[in-house]
A and B are shown apart, each in its own frame.
Chain A
Amino acid sequence: MTGVAVVGFAQTPCRVREDVTTSGVEMLVPIFAEVFRATGLTKADIGFWCSGSSDYLAGRAFSFVQAVDAIGAVPPAMESHVEMDAAWALYEAWVKILTGEAEIALAYGFGKSSGAQLRRVLALQLDPYLVAPLWPDSVSIAALQARLGLDAGRWTEKDMATVAARSQTAAQSNPQAQVSGHVTISELLERPYVAEPLRAHDCAPVGDGAAVVIIAAADRARELCARPAWITGFEHRIDSGALGARDLLAVPSATAAGLACAARAAGAHGHRPDGIDVAELHAPFTHQELLLRAALRLGDGVDVNPSGGALCGNPMFAAGLARIGMAARAVMSGRAGRTLGHATSGPALQQNLVCVMEAQ
């Protein structure tokens, strides 16, 4: 199989941006320039572009087309779009390289999450016949999942606050984080509920942002990057859309994607890979980090979300791609040998994507 590696990553700070449009252009132009500077590439070198965004955030149809302005698509570019987190756009780009249709591909995601009431807009991703007409918001649905775990003794509210405190402390080293700082667990637990049993620190903040990742086929990757992050596994799976029919305390799609990554890596190496050094998990709620650690079988030795994770900055449709970008950066910078980037989509961790990367 053709080797493919991440060779570049950039993201905007995650902030509420009253000054930007929903087209993404103002957020994308600077980070395209940044990733081109870092890799020495120009737009003419990109054989395939793929974006992830949503009309429901923009409040207008075909909003992603306007973002193409940021590419500068003259002469015409080979371009595609997913109405999903851009981690899935990166997956499409990866397949494009594997099939030999491109050597270098760029995936980008953007979301102005603050344009409307995000938790209400996200009700429209639910079953349109039986669920969405009730307008259940994303925070309330996550709270139902959190309560199941509390009732089952899987975690406590203190465990959830511990995830938040650790994330916010870690985010102090991440200038792009929206939330960071030193907080104590007891102080967090004194704060009021937003959607009992969730408090504000249990939920990702609403913020706007964009991210971009460039991947390249083997020979080009070595030219472009001293230490490319080679993709050894890239898988995504989905669970049932029927919320009440799922076991919300298992994340079978994440487990299946993780195992498939391991199997692919084992095939490539002839042996099962050792542990992961760093995992960037797309967990927009504290209890979901606990669920994902278990579903992906990450041991205590794994450094989880050294960036602060989605709990400290969750630009919709870019945050999953940014997790892969941050995990890739850990390899490219030499801080880690093998890393895992994860993205989620849908209510209560319905859909999950895992990308495993390593140094050669």
Chain B
Amino acid sequence: MDHPLRAPLEIEFDYTRSLGPVLSEFMTALAGRRILGARGADGRVHAPPFEYDPVGSAPPGELTEVGPEGTVVSWSWMPEPLEGQPLAGPFAWALIRLDGADTTMLHAVDAGSAAAMRTGLRVRTRWAASRVGSIRDIACFEPCHGVNAAEEAGAAEEAGAVTGTITPVRLSYMHTASPGESAYLRGLADHRLLGQRCGVCGHVYVPPRGTCPADGVPTQEEVELPDTGTVTTFCVVNVAYPGQRVTPPYVAAAVLLDGADIAFQHLILGCEPSEVRMGLRVRAVWSDSGISHFAPTGEPDAAYETYARDL
């Protein structure tokens, strides 16, 4: 058997979150180059602040300013930073107890080398050039070297209230297709439709699933199917969305290939959306990359009983 097909899969999404009252105040302060903490019922100051007291669960009272200097409580060395981390070159991750706080904040320290790092090192905030109300308004921390951070950092600024935060998330995968999917995809390149039949119930699955979802056994018998089928059900897409490749309105339909026991979703083009109906007979229209879409064959509609089980 040929090896399974593999390809990079990149996914990204901008997580957009609203901030509650505590984090809103905290983020607004960051945009103005100030770091706030919250005093708990036990008297300890948490920085970053808690939203609900970990001991008594009450929301914090007035937030209190901490930092901008602090002390490294623990650290680790990142020789080759990963995508998205605060610094592009080697840096230290550190738990930093900001002056005036009892808990620590996790952030990066731009120390240059691991040899320059130690527990107990005094560090100060390095602010990002442009600040939006995000934990990344702190670009990183840096060793103090005796400079007065409050003066160096400049005076705190007034900033408009920050009520939301956007975190872009981008992940890279190497996606592997199953052996059955790989055979199916290779078949499409040759304008062939390859499915698999379950040895127990005899159902034909296209695209192949590798395992019969009814019986839980591997499906190994390969079946070639014609490129004609029946629309079992459909919807008309009227809504535009980013990345859409067909102009609305258009039809997304469940197409049951002749000889298959499971429908798959495809585009129906070649007629007005209003002409698409349950039972419509369709044939694949091939392109270089596989099936472009399905189009009506002009045959009489399939009888409801022939596809009722697959709805």
A contact residues vs B (CB 8 Å cutoff)? 18-23, 25-26, 29, 32, 43, 56, 59-60, 68-74, 115-117, 119-121, 123-124, 128-137, 140-141, 143-148, 151, 193, 195-198, 240, 242-245, 248
Contacts of A120 in B (CB 8 A): 82-84, 171
Given known contacts A74-B214, A131-B106, A144-B95, what 17 new A-B pairs fall within 8 Å (CB)? Answer: A19-B179, A21-B176, A26-B211, A29-B217, A72-B213, A72-B214, A115-B176, A119-B82, A124-B169, A130-B23, A133-B134, A133-B167, A137-B82, A146-B76, A151-B74, A245-B46, A245-B103
Instruction: Verify if B307 is at the interface (C-beta below 8 Å from A).
Output: no
Partner of B77, one of A71, A72, A115, A193: A193
Partner of B93, one of A23, A29, A69, A144: A144
Q: For A19, A121, A140, A196, which residue has the most chain B Cβ atoms within 10 angstroms? A: A140
B216 and A32 contact, CB distance less than 8 A? yes
B85 and A134 contact, CB distance less than 8 A? yes
User: A240 to B54, alpha carbons, bound, how many Å?
Assistant: 8
| A140-B78 contact in complex given A59-B11, A134-B108, C-beta closer than 8 Å | yes
Instruction: Verify if B228 is at the interface (C-beta below 8 Å from A).
Output: no
User: A197 to B93, alpha carbons, bound, how many Å?
Assistant: 12
Interface members, chain B 171-229 (any A CB < 8 Å): 171-179, 181, 209-218
A148 and B73 contact, CB distance less than 8 A? yes
Q: How far is the CB of A203 from chain B (nearest CB, A)?
A: 12
Q: How far is the CB of A245 from chain B (nearest CB, A)?
A: 4
Can you list 6 A-B contacts with CB-CB less than 8 angstroms, sorted by A residue number?
A70-B211, A116-B172, A141-B106, A197-B76, A245-B50, A245-B103
Q: For A26, A43, A71, A147, which residue has the most chain B Cβ atoms within 10 angstroms? A: A147
Contacts of B136 in A (CB 8 A): 133-134
Q: How far is the CB of B67 from chain A (nearest CB, A)?
A: 13
Q: How far is the CB of B191 from chain A (nearest CB, A)?
A: 25
B contact residues vs A (CB 8 Å cutoff)? 3-4, 6, 9, 11, 15, 17, 19, 23, 46, 48, 50, 54, 73-79, 82-86, 93-95, 103-108, 114, 119, 134-136, 165, 167, 169, 171-179, 181, 209-218
User: A117 to B80, alpha carbons, bound, how many Å?
Assistant: 13
B174 and A115 contact, CB distance less than 8 A? yes
Q: How far is the CB of A4 from chain B (nearest CB, A)?
A: 24
User: A202 to B11, alpha carbons, bound, how many Å?
Assistant: 31
User: A148 to B173, alpha carbons, bound, how many Å?
Assistant: 33
A25 and B178 contact, CB distance less than 8 A? yes
User: A179 to B309, alpha carbons, bound, how many Å?
Assistant: 50
A129 and B171 contact, CB distance less than 8 A? no
Partner of A128, one of B9, B105, B167: B167
Contacts of B215 in A (CB 8 A): 72, 74
Partner of B82, one of A69, A117, A128: A117
Contacts of A68 in B (CB 8 A): 213
Contacts of A116 in B (CB 8 A): 171-174
B93 and A143 contact, CB distance less than 8 A? yes
A195 and B167 contact, CB distance less than 8 A? no
| A26-B23 contact in complex given A148-B73, A244-B106, C-beta closer than 8 Å | no
| A147-B75 contact in complex given A18-B176, A244-B106, C-beta closer than 8 Å | yes
| A59-B54 contact in complex given A115-B174, A134-B86, A244-B104, C-beta closer than 8 Å | no
Q: How far is the CB of A60 from chain B (nearest CB, A)?
A: 8
User: A117 to B211, alpha carbons, bound, how many Å?
Assistant: 28
B173 and A59 contact, CB distance less than 8 A? yes
Contacts of A115 in B (CB 8 A): 173-176
Contacts of B175 in A (CB 8 A): 21-22, 59, 115
A195 and B73 contact, CB distance less than 8 A? no
A26 and B172 contact, CB distance less than 8 A? no
Contacts of B17 in A (CB 8 A): 128-129
Contacts of B19 in A (CB 8 A): 129
User: A208 to B218, alpha carbons, bound, how many Å?
Assistant: 20
B213 and A135 contact, CB distance less than 8 A? no
B106 and A136 contact, CB distance less than 8 A? yes
A29 and B211 contact, CB distance less than 8 A? yes
